[in-house]
């Protein structure tokens, strides 16, 4: 296909051409944002390895009722409204791997960014959240810590 043919197609189908450009820009933006977000996403199997090998701190941002229904063993419940990366309880974990989880993986990203800004070196998010953990047939603990 030549450049002239592409230009002719774009002239005949402006909406399709605009849609293609828009989708291309959106994909490039999404991938660049992922590279520069400052934290890494983990799959459930990677999280279990990180917990077992490096004693990772797991912070669960789920609402209290959801946390009580099921959470990853050893995770600490922190409500988004009470999350403070500068708190003394988290300061000791700055050198440890810290993994932020929530129900679906959407809330955890904002908390992970705040941890990186606060100087935490190894920050991760469980991709897909607790739902992905359950889909991987990994166990949850019920009740509160």
pLDDT tens-digit map of 70-123? 999 999 999 888 888 888 778 778 888 999 999 987 889 989 999 988 889 899
* 144 domain residue, yes or no: no
Same domain flag for 44 and 31:
no
Q: Are residues 56 and 126 in the same domain?
A: yes
- Domain span at residue 29? 3-35
Q: Are residues 117 and 86 in the same domain?
A: yes
Per residue in 7-65, pLDDT tens?
Answer: 899 899 999 999 999 999 999 987 887 667 778 999 999 999 999 999 899 999 999 99
Tell me the C-alpha to C-alpha distance, in Å, between residue 96 and each of 8, 37, 58, 67. Answer: 57, 19, 10, 23
Structural domain count, the chain: 2
One domain for residues 46 and 72: yes
Average pLDDT, the chain: 89
């Amino acid at each position: 296909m030549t450049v002239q043919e592409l230009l002719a197609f774009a002239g005949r189908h402006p909406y399709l051409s605009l849609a293609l450009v828009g989708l291309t820009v959106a994909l490039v933006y999404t991938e660049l944002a992922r590279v520069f977000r400052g934290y890494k996403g983990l799959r459930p199997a990677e999280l279990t390895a990180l917990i077992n090998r490096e004693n990772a701190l797991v912070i669960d941002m789920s609402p209290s009722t959801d946390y009580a229904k099921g959470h990853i063993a050893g995770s600490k419940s922190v409500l988004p409204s009470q999350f403070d990366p500068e708190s003394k309880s988290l300061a000791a974990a700055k050198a440890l791997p810290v993994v932020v989880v929530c129900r679906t993986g959407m809330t955890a990203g904002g908390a992970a960014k705040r941890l990186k800004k606060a100087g935490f070196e190894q920050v991760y998010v469980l991709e897909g959240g607790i739902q992905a953990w359950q889909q991987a047939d990994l166990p949850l603990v019920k009740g509160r810590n």
